[in-house]
């Protein structure tokens, strides 16, 4: 196996197994604060205060880390946020 291929496989395994992945939520000009707050409560298990704080951080800074964990746990959450019109990505 080439060194590059091994390196690529190691990166994939690290991404899947590492609990240091996180979902970043990005600002947009489409969604209301209420929609963002409701979505964070529903999909990220935030309480209303935490969700509102994240919404304000996104509004003021353009992005906010809203959930951390293993990639496999974050993927369905990130997909649900996207399906509800939010701009989110796993990092």
What domains, with CATH codes, occur in the chain? Answer: 19-90 (3.30.1390.10)
Cα distances from 18 to residues 14, 43, 74, in angstroms, run: 5, 21, 11
What is the model's pLDDT at position 15? 59
Residue 71's contacts (CB-CB under 8 Å, 6 or more residues apart) are: 15, 16, 17, 18, 21, 90
Q: Could you give the CA distance from residue 54 to residue 51 in angstroms, rounded to a whole number?
A: 5
Confidence of residue 18 (pLDDT cuts 50, 70, 90): low
Provide Rg for the chain, Cα atoms: 15
Q: Using one digit for the tens of pLDDT, what is the confidence trace for 26-81?
A: 999 999 999 999 999 999 999 999 999 999 999 999 999 999 999 999 999 999 99
The number of beta carbons lying within 10 Å of the beta carbon of residue 5 is 9
């Amino acid at each position: 196996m080439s060194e590059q291929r091994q390196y690529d496989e190691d990166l994939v395994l690290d991404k899947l197994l590492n609990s240091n992945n996180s979902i970043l939520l990005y600002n947009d000009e489409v969604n209301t604060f209420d929609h963002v707050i409701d979505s964070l409560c529903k999909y990220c298990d935030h309480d209303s205060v935490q969700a509102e704080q994240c919404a304000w951080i996104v509004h003021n800074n353009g992005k906010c880390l809203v959930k951390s964990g293993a990639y496999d746990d974050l993927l369905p959450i990130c997909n649900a946020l996207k399906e509800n019109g939010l701009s989110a990505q796993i990092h």
